[in-house]
Amino acid sequence: MSLSRNQVLGEMGLSPQWILRETRAVARGEKRAKSSILPAPMHKAEQFLAGVAEKMPASGAERSAPIAQLGWDGLRQRIAGCRDCALCGERKQAVAGVGDENADWLFVGEGPGAEEDARGEPFVGPAGKLLDAMLAAIDLTRGEDVYIANAVKCRPPSNRTPEAAEMAACAPYLKRQIALLQPRLIVLLGRAAVHALLGEDGSLASLRGKPLAYRDGERDIPVVVTYHPAYLLRTLPDKAKSWEDLCRARALMRSLKP
């Protein structure tokens, strides 16, 4: 990342009040074993994922089990050829995700937009530039200890919000990405990502700052909720709230014990 600190804060529209004093090593914390346990349960996530199987046709429910056995290469191939919901109809390509497959940090957005659909990478264009600035503000860099994915892997027409059935159909892919990645912390960008992963359909404002977690097998992975960069580009005052969320995420990462 070549942006200077002032450039980063400028990108987020928060200069000069965003002042980061801590070093990258402190911000990211010591590399710890991936078996960290967070005590807070997230029962709605289990309810939502159980609902996924109910909403999907029988053949769809049956597809979840083999997806859960795939490695990274097999998962990417499966996503690239997937035609399991209507979103496959207008996509140029499916966008699986990008980044460090051993990352401690997972950022999850909503779905690919036009530029992502064209380039095959999540968060490019203006929203991607802002996400990179958000990462840099907490001393993270795309591709280094960070993995970025979306709730749905194919572009919704006209960049509309994905429908619940589409998010349900795509959920096994995100769930498998999390199982393979074993992140220490998940940052959910926007309400659709929260709904897709946690089954929470409340307002983002009501969920920010709450202790949330995603249940992956026997492990609860802490979750921090914040605004989607595309929303922040339209709603400049909420950039300050997003900064609060990122600081909370950074503090939470530091607090995780092996």
Give the residues lining the site for ligand SF4 (CB under 6 A).
79, 82-85, 87-88, 94, 152-154, 166, 169-170
Cα dihedral 102, 105, 183, 168, rounded to 10, equals -110
Residues with Cβ within 8 Å of 202's Cβ and at least 6 positions away in sequence, in order, are none
Q: Least CB distance from residue 59 to ligand SF4, whole Å?
A: 13
Q: Least CB distance from residue 88 to ligand SF4, whole Å?
A: 4
- Whose Cβ is closer to ligand SF4: residue 172's or residue 229's? 172
Nearest to 128 by CA among 118, 55, 200, 78: 118
- Whose Cβ is closer to ligand SF4: residue 83's or residue 210's? 83
Rg of the chain over Cα atoms, rounded to whole angstroms, equals 17
Q: What SS3 state is found at 172?
A: helix
**Helix locations, 30-181, DSSP H:** 43-55, 58-67, 72-80, 114-119, 125-137, 164-181
- Whose Cβ is closer to ligand SF4: residue 29's or residue 162's? 162
Cα–Cα dist 154/90, whole Å: 8
Cα–Cα dist 244/239, whole Å: 9
- Whose Cβ is closer to ligand SF4: residue 153's or residue 195's? 153
- Whose Cβ is closer to ligand SF4: residue 106's or residue 252's? 106
- Parallel/antiparallel/unpaired status of strands 97-99 and 146-150: antiparallel
Q: Least CB distance from residue 237 to ligand SF4, whole Å?
A: 32
- Whose Cβ is closer to ligand SF4: residue 152's or residue 253's? 152
Q: Least CB distance from residue 87 to ligand SF4, whole Å?
A: 4
